[in-house]
């Protein structure tokens, strides 16, 4: 019997590529990518390991940029710079102390009643769990079943390591916080004193006049944008806190002043802060009111205030000039909270604004600045096509205007002279 001839498939005509062809063709590109990934991982490990030293430096840098306009205003009264820097720090510390003192006293009273508050909240949560009680009982019965009997083992000794008590942990935490706060205060004071000298030296060592102007614009924009961001959002957060405290007082929630202050502080941490605030208001509502509908009113009121702030107040006051990409904000805040904790989340946005200003003034990094949240450019429509008229402000350097044109003489006067 004749053997049937095998039909050739189309796969045999496809050329077989060698493995790791991209490595052979572009070895420098692969090496650069690998080194970049390793450098990024090394930077993350260094930031995490050096938290005790690097976090106060970053916080002092942010606070010095924020307090620089206030220090300059004090210097207008012909006050020496060291005294002006000290007065700026005293004013900022007094405002912070006043804000925390308004919150601390109601919070201490609320913490005294914390056990009763938690018990009331647990009773309300049990009411929510009643419809799910049959499923809970079935899961407990399934966990109690043993398909394979476990062999009996002789009694063994259990070694328990003694952990430090709560008081010792609190004392150690307070000592660390006091030392780092003092370090931030001292470092911020010296940064305020030497900011002008450092700026002049940095600008003077630039090789060309264009580079000097470029560096001066970077310093100017960093100070203006960061200080403008802090002042503007502080006012907005105070308004959010006032509205939250007023709503809590109207709904009958105890300690409305404390809830307003907490709403102001937590609103400085984007996305995560309002979520924490809603959880705390939900717990307080469950512990205060008898029904679940009444317990949800404080959370709904805060959600409404946050919605108005995010979609009406902030876009109206801030405008599109300082708009940042929400994805960039979430990633940056999450990264710094993961590296440095809650303090990292507070200084995350000022650091992001500083980085964006540097990207806007550096040609190779302007794409990154645009992804973070570049201001919009003016455009014109020609034949249903959008054509940019001028770039966004701050992205390119201003060029010198052309010299004015000389007025042309009349033809008759020219012929008369001839």
> Does the pLDDT of residue 361 top 80, yes or no?
yes
pLDDT of residue 88: 92
Higher-pLDDT residue of 154 and 292 is 292
Is there a domain that residue 301 lies in?
yes
Higher-pLDDT residue of 162 and 388 is 162
Q: Cα 100 to the chain's mean position, in Å?
A: 22
Cα 39 to Cα 6, 32, 33, 42, 45: the distances in Å are: 55, 10, 10, 5, 10
pLDDT bin (cut points 50, 70, 90) of residue 397 is very low
> What average pLDDT does this structure show over 97-126?
73
Residues near 346 by Cβ (< 8 Å), separated by ≥ 6? Answer: 268, 269
Residues near 294 by Cβ (< 8 Å), separated by ≥ 6? Answer: 285
Is there a domain that residue 47 lies in?
yes
Return the top range by mean pLDDT from 101-105, 119-123, 151-155, 339-343. Answer: 339-343
Report the candidate in 102, 69, 103 with the shortest Cα–Cα distance to residue 84: 69
Cβ-defined contacts of 301-307 (< 8 Å, 24+) = 301/244, 301/247, 301/248, 301/251, 302/244, 302/247, 302/263, 302/274, 302/277, 302/278, 303/278, 305/240, 305/243, 305/244, 305/247, 305/263, 306/240, 306/267, 306/274
Is there a domain that residue 146 lies in?
no
> What average pLDDT does this structure show over 53-70?
90
Query: Which of 11-20, 298-307, 352-361 is least confident?
Result: 11-20
By residue range, what is the domain housing residue 110?
30-128+181-390
Give the integer Cα–Cα distance in Å for 143 and 296: 35
Give the integer Cα–Cα distance in Å for 260 and 245: 4
Q: What is the pTM for the complete model shown?
A: 0.68
> What average pLDDT does this structure show over 55-77?
90
For 207-242, the DSSP string reads SSHHHHHHHHHHHHHHHHHHHHHHHHHHHHHHHHHH
CA dihedral 60, 57, 61, 188 (to 10 degrees): 40
pLDDT of residue 408: 46
Is there a domain that residue 15 lies in?
no
- Partnered with residue 382 across adjacent β-strands are 385
> What average pLDDT does this structure show over 24-29?
74
Structural domain count of the chain: 1
Is there a domain that residue 206 lies in?
yes
Q: Quote the tokens at residue 193.
A: 């004193």
Is there a domain that residue 403 lies in?
no
Residue 253, SS3? coil
For 325-392, the DSSP string reads -HHHHHHHHHHHHHHH-HHHHHSHHHHHHHHHHHHHTSGGGHHHHHHHHPPPPEEEEETTEEEEEEPP
Q: Is the dihedral of CA 96, 97, 102, 108 positive or negative?
A: positive
Query: Which of 93-102, 282-291, 320-329 is least confident?
Result: 320-329
> Does the pLDDT of residue 307 top 70, yes or no?
yes
CA dihedral 364, 365, 368, 374 (to 10 degrees): -110
Give the integer Cα–Cα distance in Å for 311 and 56: 34
Give the integer Cα–Cα distance in Å for 229 and 384: 36
Is there a domain that residue 34 lies in?
yes
Is there a domain that residue 176 lies in?
no
Give the integer Cα–Cα distance in Å for 175 and 178: 5
């Amino acid at each position: 019997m004749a053997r049937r001839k095998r039909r050739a498939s189309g796969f045999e005509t496809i050329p077989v590529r060698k493995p790791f062809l991209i490595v052979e063709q572009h070895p420098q590109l692969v090496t650069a990518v690998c080194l970049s990934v390793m450098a990024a991982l090394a930077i993350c490990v260094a930031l995490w390991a050096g938290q005790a030293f690097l976090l106060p430096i970053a916080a002092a840098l942010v606070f010095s940029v924020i307090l620089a306009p206030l220090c300059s205003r004090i210097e207008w009264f012909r006050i020496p710079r060291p005294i002006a820097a000290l007065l700026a720090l005293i004013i900022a510390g007094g405002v912070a102390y006043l804000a925390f003192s308004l919150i601390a006293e109601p919070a201490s009273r609320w913490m005294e009643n914390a056990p009763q508050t938690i018990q009331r909240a647990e009773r309300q949560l049990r009411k929510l769990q009643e419809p799910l009680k049959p499923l809970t009982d079935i899961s407990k019965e399934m966990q109690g079943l043993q398909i394979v009997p476990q062999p009996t083992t002789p009694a063994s000794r259990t070694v328990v390591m003694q952990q430090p008590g709560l008081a010792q942990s609190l004392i150690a935490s307070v000592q660390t916080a006091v030392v780092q706060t003092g370090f931030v205060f001292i470092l911020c004071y010296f940064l305020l004193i030497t900011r002008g000298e450092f700026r002049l030296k940095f600008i003077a060592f630039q090789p060309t006049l264009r580079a000097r102007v470029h560096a001066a614009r970077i310093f100017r924009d960093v100070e203006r944008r960061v200080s403008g961001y802090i002042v503007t959002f502080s006012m907005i957060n105070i308004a959010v806190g006032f509205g939250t405290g007023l709503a809590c007082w109207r709904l009958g929630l105890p300690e409305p002043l404390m809830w307003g202050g907490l709403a102001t502080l937590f609103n400085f941490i984007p996305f995560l802060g309002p979520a924490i605030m809603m959880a705390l208001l939900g717990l307080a509502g469950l512990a205060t009111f008898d029904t679940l509908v009444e317990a949800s009113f404080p959370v709904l009121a805060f959600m409404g205030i946050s919605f108005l702030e995010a979609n009406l107040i902030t876009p109206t006051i801030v405008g599109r000039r300082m708009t940042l990409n929400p994805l960039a904000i979430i990633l940056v805040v999450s990264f710094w909270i993961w590296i440095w904790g809650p303090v990292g989340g507070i200084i995350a946005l000022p650091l992001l604004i500083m980085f964006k200003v540097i990207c806007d003034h550096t040609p190779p990094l302007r794409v990154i600045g645009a992804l973070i949240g570049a201001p919009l450019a003016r455009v014109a429509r020609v034949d249903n096509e959008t054509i940019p008229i001028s770039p966004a402000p701050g992205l390119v350097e201003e060029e010198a205007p052309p010299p004015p044109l000389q007025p042309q003489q009349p033809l008759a006067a020219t012929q008369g002279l001839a």
